[in-house]
């Protein structure tokens, strides 16, 4: 009887470690994102979608900087090309973020609850999208 292997344990351990590191990086970016979202909506009077867009972009900059240093240290691409791809994935993440928030607020959810749902979806989309592009496999 043949055994089928879908990947080595070390490959899965590497992915797990990268997800944990990316999670820690994302917590820092999330603090910037959600903190700025809250300040812009509650204290500056921004519409929640405009605030979500601005705060997401700021969080994206923090995420890129920290992930480049701590998670995806080496890339298959030159730095400028890497940033363009990273930003492209970020734009799709931003569209997902804004769509989820818009939809859930429209359905009656508080904008910060909607943001919490968005964070989970966009985290995994961004991680696997960026890992596929940048990580040597």
Would you state the pLDDT for residue 4? 41
Cα dihedral across residues 62, 65, 71, 75: positive or negative: positive
Would you state the pLDDT for residue 135? 62
Query: What's the whole-model pTM score?
Result: 0.77
Would you state the pLDDT for residue 14? 83
Q: How far apart, in whole angstroms, are the C-alpha atoms of residue 65 and residue 42? A: 28
Would you state the pLDDT for residue 81? 86
User: Tens place of pLDDT for every residue, the chain, 137 residues?
Assistant: 444 445 566 888 888 888 888 889 989 999 999 999 999 999 999 999 999 999 999 998 998 889 888 887 777 778 888 888 888 888 899 999 999 999 999 999 999 999 999 999 998 898 888 777 766 55
């Amino acid at each position: 009887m043949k055994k089928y292997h879908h990947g080595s344990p070390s490959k899965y351990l590497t992915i797990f470690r990268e997800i944990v590191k990316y999670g820690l990086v994302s917590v820092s970016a999330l603090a910037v994102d959600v903190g700025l979202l809250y300040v812009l909506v509650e204290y500056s009077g921004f519409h929640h979608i405009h605030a979500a867009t601005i705060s997401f972009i700021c969080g994206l900059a923090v995420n890129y900087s920290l992930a480049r240093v701590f998670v995806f240290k080496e890339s298959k691409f030159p730095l400028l090309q890497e940033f363009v791809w990273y930003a492209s994935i970020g734009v799709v993440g931003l569209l997902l973020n804004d769509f989820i928030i818009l939809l859930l607020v429209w359905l009656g959810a508080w904008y910060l609850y909607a943001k919490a749902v968005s964070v989970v979806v966009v985290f995994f989309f961004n991680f696997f999208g960026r890992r596929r592009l940048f990580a040597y496999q």
